[in-house]
Structure formats: structure tokens, C-alpha cells
Amino acid sequence: MDLTSDQLKDYDGSDESKPIYISIRGVVFDVSTGKSFYGPGGTYAIFAGREASRALAKMSKNEEDVSGNLDGLSVKEMGVLEDWEKKFQAKYPVVGRLIVS
């Protein structure tokens, strides 16, 4: 399934009838089983329904970092992002990809 950023926003956990999705480097994961983390009020709810690569790389929950822009990230930050990707791949199913609209 291909999703645009606008479509991905529909999967932010605010509608309990829909799953919760997060994109990392354009790969969309269903993180619904981690609802306590990614759902409304969760520690990482800011990432739900969004492309979160930069924020994960920087270990940041700042609004301005929640994007897919990897420009200017350090080698260490890219390594952190790769670690997050591996964790998501091991724990959550891939449901699609984010397309640039």
C-alpha cells in the first residue's frame, strides 16, 4: 500500500477503528501493538501517523525533528536511525511505503 503524508496522518491513533502507522525512511510500519507508546497520550505519540526518521535519529521528540529529512545528520545519528529501523523491522509488520506527493 502506498500512502502520502496526508493519508498517513489518518493513522495517528486518534480513530480507534484504524491502526497506528509510523514511517521510517519511507517504510510504513503498523505499530498498533505498541498503542501504549504510540497512541494518544503515549510517550511517542508525536511519531504516530508521521514520517519519524529524523526524530528517531536525533533521539528527539521536538516537533521540528519529526520528518524524513536526513540532511546534516551525523554518522552517529545515522547509526541510531539504523538501530531503530532494525527494532521496528523485528517488532512491527510493514504495511506499505510513503510516497512523496
pLDDT at 100: 78
pLDDT above 70 as % of the chain: 99
Say if pTM beats, i.e. exceeds, 0.85. yes
Q: Which domain holds residue 20?
A: 2-98
* CA distance linking residue 74 with residue 80, whole number of Å: 10
Average pLDDT score over residue span 40-51? 96
The total domain count for the chain is: 1
Q: pLDDT digit string (tens) for 52-64?
A: 999 999 999 999 9
Taking a C-beta distance cutoff of 8 angstroms, is the pair 47, 81 a contact? no
Q: pLDDT digit string (tens) for 11-32?
A: 999 999 999 999 999 999 999 9
* CA distance linking residue 18 with residue 77, whole number of Å: 32
pLDDT at 101: 61
pLDDT at 74: 97
Question: CATH code at 81?
Answer: 3.10.120.10
